Amino acid sequence: MSIKFSSNRGSVTQNLPQSPLPVPNDKTAMANDLKHLLPHHMRILDLTLEGIPRPEIASLVDMTPQQISNIQNSPVFQDELARRRERRNDIVDRTSANALVEAKEKLTALSVQAVEVLESHLGHQDARVQQSAAKDILDRVLKKDGNESQSIVLNDVTIQVLIAAMKESR
């Protein structure tokens, strides 16, 4: 780069060395050369993680959408964004796993109660209630690998035998 100075006495041309640093007025170059995130960058990061669109972020932090884009595209910003997303996903995964364990425990406890209810129906005075309870129990016991349960035909004699067997097993 050369600079030419002119005056009424003549002109002088001087060669200047090229600077590897971005020109201070070049906001794009400066934003892409972020070395660390400033507090307003952290706010932009939080808003980005919340899924807020770039124009809205720009108005919230009093910047232009292009400035927000430059900041969001910087390697330092992208690294921090990836770290935070991974941390958030780990927390969600752990929370989901804990919720599944709790749900399984509750369902196991409730299934014991459901069997007790069906068992109590086996001793009901109405033969239809007894038959329905016996069929429900057998359908669940004989179900294989999630396929349809095997067909069972229950008549009054079969029900009486089942009820007698259940009473003896108590």
Looking up tokens 């016996």 gives 134
Q: Residue 20's pLDDT band (boundaries 50, 70, 90)?
A: very low
pLDDT mean over 75-101: 89
SS3 of residue 112 by DSSP? helix
- Cβ partners under 8 Å of residue 29, min gap 6: 22, 23
Q: What percent of the chain has pLDDT over 90?
A: 27
pLDDT in tens, 91-138: 888 888 888 888 888 887 887 787 788 778 878 888 888 888 878 877
- The C-alpha atoms of residue 166 and residue 90 are separated, in whole angstroms, by 49
Token pair recorded at residue 166: 């259940």
Q: Which amino acid is at 114?
A: A
Query: Cα-flanking dihedrals φ and ψ of residue 17, to 5°?
Result: -70, 150
Query: Cα-flanking dihedrals φ and ψ of residue 63, to 5°?
Result: -135, 175
Q: Which of 11, 18, 73, 3 is nearest to 44 (CA)?
A: 73
- The C-alpha atoms of residue 84 and residue 52 are separated, in whole angstroms, by 16
Residues in the chain: 170
Residue 114's pLDDT is: 77
pLDDT mean over 45-65: 94
Q: Residue 46's pLDDT band (boundaries 50, 70, 90)?
A: very high
**Residue 149: how many other CB atoms lie within 10 Å:** 13
**pTM score of the predicted model:** 0.43
pLDDT score of 19 more than 50: no
Contact in structure between 40 and 46 (CB atoms under 8 Å)? no
Q: What percent of the chain has pLDDT over 70?
A: 70
Residue 37's pLDDT is: 83
